[in-house]
Amino acid sequence: MKPRNKVPQIPFKQVVMWIVSFIILVVLFSKFADTGKVKNIDYSAFKAKIASGDLLDVTITPELITGVYKDDGKEQKFSTVKIEDSALVSELMAAKVPFKAEQDKSWIFNVLFNIGLVLLFVFAWWFLFIRPQRNDGKSALNFARSKAKLQDPTKQTVTFKDVAGCDEAKEEMQDIIKFLKSPAEFKKLGAKLPKGVLLYGAPGTGKTLLAKAVAGEAKVSFFSASASEFVEMFVGVGAARVRDLFANAKKNAPAIIFIDELDAVGRRRFAGIGGGHDEREQTLNQLLIELDGFESQSGIILMGSTNRPDVLDPALTRPGRFDRHINVPSPDMKGREEILKVHAKKVKMAKEVDLSVIAKSTPGFVGADLANVINEAAILAARQDKPAVTNADIEEAVERVMAGPQRKSRVISDKEKRIIAAHESGHTIIAKLSKNGDPVHKVSIIPRGPALGYTMQLPLEDKYLTSKSEILDKLVILLGGRAAEEILFEEITTGASDDLSRATAYARKMVAQLGMSDRLGPISVHTEEDEVFLGRDISRHKNISEDLARAIDEEVSKLIRDSYQKAKDVIKDHLKEMHTLIDRLLEKEVVDAKEIDEILGLKPAEVKEEKKEEKKEEIKPVAEPIKEETKKQVKPKKEDKPAEQIGDLFGGQDA
């Protein structure tokens, strides 16, 4: 069905009324504009004024005599009909009255002048009223019209073939597509079309792409708009645009309305000081009315996307408004491989490129990150005039997305290079010897982005649960850089500022939220780390006592101190390997996992096993094995973001 994109028509009667009214106004103005200023007098009175010497100025035309005379000390304009009087000029000269003669403007000139005024008015009226309505409402006089873009169903090329990595979300959307294609099958069973579908998930997971694919599969009209386009500086504009959007969708039904970043207008009401933003709340109220108000919008589905479903107003997310809430999660390893295949179709790849290997090396990446990896790899290959994208290009692209481009031009002194190498070696050795740490992929002292060096750890598989032992090992690994600096140089630098910040955040979460403290037990309390709404959380009662807050701080401090001491102990036990790794880093700048295994005397297949027999020192695990009573203390782990896969970003600056 082709959408009917009608242009609003102006009634003919209204056009005629405006033109006639303007002509009448022009005629009345030309006739009576100077009525109160110019005084008509008889010719005899004019002659008397000449004799009395009151005339100040006279203008003689073929039809009229005009001028100015004195009247009680004031100047008064006058006019009189001209009469054939041969003595008039002599009398004026005798009275020493200045005068001049002018020709009357022809009637043709007057007609053309009046027509010109009419045409000028018609042009101005067309420019201000008609033209904006033919220009998609992009005018100050049409700010109340919706800015949503209508896509022709016949020109929609995005389908589910272009969406990968979210099979569950696509399956949930199949009902919507079937309903839009054949609503009769559902209506005969009494099923109703869902009014709203809320897509939520991390940024870059493909929520907008999924909405476009639904419209492409269903072959219906698709209105797309950003929530920020509804609210303007004028009061009532947002609500008017919502009404206009639903009215246009109703004309093109069946249709899908997609509002991106729904939280811009759908935030919880009365969340701020003073009752919140009234204009935004008016827009939200109008949206609620359109969804579940006096009039049912038949054949229209509202789809919204947000990264923050927790901040939306409960009235918006209840059944009857947004009936379905569909999570678009970060893709797992299989989903990442499918996404890479979709984007790799548009790029010439070398035969040796294995997308499954790339998917394994990019945990935590979302669809936007993976698309950026393929694009960056293609740019790198084109920069070097390669015939196709190789594994080296993709590996470099992954690191660019994680930590930024290399900065080999940065001049670093030999002393600072050794400190950076020691810092990263501390992370690397502890991560390699820990029982629960992610495998080390490589360590580098080449500056990349804001980092002066980094240790890259890549998990072997996607994880959704994290044990207490794994978090404890992570704390020790994060503090390994600072411990190495203190032991080798008897001095500390600002390079560990990011490590300390992350380690403290992990420790506080363990104690205050995950119930992983033996002293405090399984409790979860609100802390200042949580995001708050100004106003609502100001008035919220504090749910933690001073004694409990002090105990949390003491437990966090104890966790950090114990982890730091473990890191120092491991480094002291492996000083020889530490120096070897530092020298290798200073020589090659980048050391991969195979070389690290050789330095530590570990076989690649025995990375997490005990020492080799010929090694004198015993390789001790960083953290104690998890106790039986704490095995159930696990927490769903959020997928790490790409930058968090790097063991350390040696910032080189104080926090």
- The strand pair at 64-71 and 440-444 is best described as unpaired
Element (H, E) at 525: none
CA 55, CA 61: separation in Å to the nearest integer?
Answer: 17
Phi, psi of 236 (to 5 degrees): 90, -5
Cβ 180 vs Cβ 301: under 8 Å: yes
Going from the C-alpha of 332 to that of each of 178, 367, 517, 647, the distances in angstroms are 28, 11, 31, 21
Q: Give the distance, in angstroms, between the CA of residue 161 and the centroid of all CA atoms in the same chain.
A: 26
Burial track 261-282 (b if 16+ CB lie within 10 A, e otherwise): bbbbbbbbbebeeeebbebbbb
Tell how strand 55-60 and strand 99-101 pair up.
parallel
Cα separation, 490 vs 483, whole angstroms: 10
Q: Which residue is listed with tokens 């390669």?
A: 386
d(CA 579, CA 599): 10
Closest CA to 495 of 408, 595, 425: 425
Phi, psi of 468 (to 5 degrees): -65, -40
Planar angle of CA 644, 649, 651, nearest 5 degrees: 140
Give 148's contacts (C-beta < 8 A, 6+ positions apart).
Answer: 223, 224, 225, 229, 245, 248, 257
CA atoms within 13 A on the CB side of 620: 13
Closest CA to 383 of 371, 397, 401: 397
Of 424, 486, 555, 639, which residue is the catalytic one?
424
Count Cα neighbours of 623 within 13 Å in the Cβ-side half-sphere: 22
Residue 460 CA to residue 438 CA, distance in Å, equals: 7
Count of residues making up the chain: 655
Is 424 annotated in the active site?
A: yes
List the catalytic residues.
424
